Structure 1
Amino acid sequence: MPIKLPSDLPAYDVLSREGVMVMAEEQAARQDIRPLRIGLLNLMPKKIQTENQFARLIGATPLQIELSLIRMSEHRTKNTAADHMETFYRPFSEVAETGEKFDGLIITGAPIEHLPFPDVTYWKELEQVFDWTQTNVHSTFGVCWGGMAMINYFHKVPKHDLPHKAFGCVRHQNLMPASPYLRGFSDDMVIPVSRWTELRREEIEAAGLTILIDSYDTGPCLVEDPAHRALYIFNHFEYDSGTLKEEYDRDVAAGTPINVPANYYPDDDPNMTPLNRWRSHAHLLYGNWINEIYQSTPFDLAHIGQG
């Protein structure tokens, strides 16, 4: 939670420039509290695993979070029981039709990196989702393929195929330590990476966007898009300790050529139990995102998207 200081106290400006969470007394006095409405547009095949991962992160703050699960209207998953989908998920068409508004929306990744965006079966509806976020969502977080799709739609930044899979726990650099989204972050950190495509620094910067977290080895990771009230992350802070192991074991069992995920197992030995070295930064990032929403979203949901 923020520290409350008089806005004319010198420490207010000093701490603000350093990225410390501060709130003026007059702002605190008029701030009401209500549950934050966060939507999860889940494009991953293992819906329940993904729900758990994101709910764990956004539910770790002192604030009340109301989580709504959303799916693409016509796409049917083969990996999650139909009764689970029927009970807990609503199609985007229904959400849009009712005019609902959300303080935040997470758009997950999807295992379809090899496809050009227009070839994705639900691409047309996803374009509608992106447009809808500009009027019905206060802040959107695009994750992995979801982030790549958003940055492509809004800024025409392309994804590029990699000669081999970027796979493992990769060291990243904090480029913007004063960013409110990176409060409490170390100068560098380890983040799980699992993708066959990349986005390039020069093309992101040419679009006028700010890279917050970067890697010498796997390129940009976290990008801020203030004009669209969005963050794009291309790697996987939300992964559980064993997620990379599950992906590796799956590919080995299927006979798919795959490298041992780098810097994941002790001594890179897949017979060893992997160590989670990203959990604390994952909680920081999503906690900071939730806090930024809390500080800036209108109390009246009807005012979301009205400037």
Structure 2
Amino acid sequence: MPIKIPGQLPAKEILERENIFVMDEARAQTQDIRPLKILILNLMPEKEKTEAQLLRFLGNSPIQVHISFLRLVSHEAKTTNKLHLDQFYEPFSEVQDKKFDGMIITGAPVEKLPYTDVDYWDELNDIMEWTKSHVTSTLHICWGAQAALYYHYGIEKYELQKKCFGVYPHKILKAHEKLVRGFDDIFLAPHSRYTDIDLEKMKKHPDLDILAQSDKAGVLLASSKDGKNIMVTGHLEYDAQTLADEYYRDLERGQNTQIPENYFPEDDPKRAPLHRWKSHCSLLFSNWLNYYVYQETPYEWD
């Protein structure tokens, strides 16, 4: 998918090196089509890395996509250059009167906090409420998925005895669902979180479908019945090296973090991990964009 992004965005150079079809503003204006408008609320601390990870998979379909980035005003990002945020990210006040075909809300390193203790929880509530009328379908990732399950469906999270950290096999529960078309019956996905959501409450909720889960890592994919909310509790968008970076970061901080399960070859951190979930992430994003965004969104919003 040719993705339309600001010409100076640092992720552009990374994606071009990987032969991802990136289109800047000038090139996009020569094409007489309506691009899909995708808004990304990037809550991850290393925002530039997350930008590249998400854009890599949004660029894998023949439809033109116009990317916008959203920032919070109730929270000050401490690990991203303010100039980067000012140049490429918009506050909610600048986009709240617009309509978007799709939106992505990422994870955030706040999962151990009660939702109401997160300093931007009220602003995030406003944004999630706004998506009901201004976004065709929203994809929520990791803590973003937990926050959506709580806000939209009243399903609380709980803290795990041990961090869910590694690459786990998952099985498809509803193979006929469009989101998992083309998936293998068993596929791998990374997780990195200290909390989980109540599986039984999800099963009983009349507006939710559980699409894929793991015996060890729990639910991975869930969807609202109308497809407006997609929840991904893991990190299929992660690079091969991301879990290793998190592991070494935690060790440097003096945290007693276990080696990510089923990740390093023979559990040896000196050996380079393999990227064994990339194709399923590509399928997830392309299925979401095609079936839940492109096929459902109006050509012109009222």
Task: With the length of structure 1 as denominator, give the TM-score of the two structures.
Answer: 0.86
Q: What's the offset of the Cα at 1:228?
A: 6.7
Paired position in structure 2 for 1:48: 48
Partners of 2:120 and 2:58 lie apart in 1 by 27
Paired position in structure 2 for 1:139: 137
Paired position in structure 2 for 1:125: 123
Paired position in structure 2 for 1:288: 287
Give the letter for the 1:70 counterpart: L
Q: What's the offset of the Cα at 1:227?
A: 4.3
Partners of 2:204 and 2:212 lie apart in 1 by 17
Paired position in structure 1 for 2:220: 221
On the 8 A contact 2:74/2:123 being kept in 1, the answer is no
Partners of 2:275 and 2:227 lie apart in 1 by 33
Partners of 2:227 and 2:93 lie apart in 1 by 21
Paired position in structure 2 for 1:115: 113
Q: What's the offset of the Cα at 1:147?
A: 0.8
Gaps of 5+ in 1: 2-31
Partners of 1:35 and 1:214 lie apart in 2 by 33
Partners of 1:295 and 1:206 lie apart in 2 by 28
On the 8 A contact 1:161/1:196 being kept in 2, the answer is yes
Paired position in structure 2 for 1:15: none
Give the letter for the 2:81 counterpart: A
Q: 1:142 to 1:194 in 2, by over 3 A?
A: same
SS in 2 for 1:296: coil
Give the letter for the 2:161 counterpart: P
Gaps of 5+ in 2: 2-31
Paired position in structure 2 for 1:189: 187
Paired position in structure 2 for 1:298: 298
What are the superposed Cα offsets for residues 177-206 of structure 1, whole Å, 9 maximum, x if unpaired?
111111110001110010000112211112
Partners of 1:177 and 1:226 lie apart in 2 by 15
Give the letter for the 1:35 counterpart: P
On the 8 A contact 1:134/1:228 being kept in 2, the answer is no
On the 8 A contact 2:53/2:238 being kept in 1, the answer is yes
Paired position in structure 2 for 1:206: 204
Q: What's the offset of the Cα at 1:74?
A: 2.5
On the 8 A contact 2:74/2:119 being kept in 1, the answer is no
Paired position in structure 1 for 2:241: 242
Partners of 2:77 and 2:259 lie apart in 1 by 28
Paired position in structure 2 for 1:273: 272
Partners of 2:284 and 2:127 lie apart in 1 by 24
Give the letter for the 2:168 counterpart: V
- Structure 1 segment 82-101 matched on structure 2, within 5 A: 82-96=82-96, 99-101=97-99
* 1:233 maps onto 2:201 in alignment: no
SS in 2 for 1:168: strand
Q: What's the offset of the Cα at 1:37?
A: 0.3
Paired position in structure 1 for 2:26: none
SS in 1 for 2:195: strand
Paired position in structure 2 for 1:260: 259
Paired position in structure 1 for 2:25: none
SS in 1 for 2:147: helix
SS in 2 for 1:70: strand
The alignment's C-alpha RMSD in Å is 1.3
- The count of corresponding residues between Structure 1 and Structure 2 is 270
Partners of 1:151 and 1:33 lie apart in 2 by 35
Partners of 1:278 and 1:220 lie apart in 2 by 16
Give the letter for the 1:275 counterpart: L
On the 8 A contact 1:190/1:278 being kept in 2, the answer is yes
Partners of 1:76 and 1:92 lie apart in 2 by 14
TM superposition outliers: structure 1 runs of 4+ over 2 Å: none
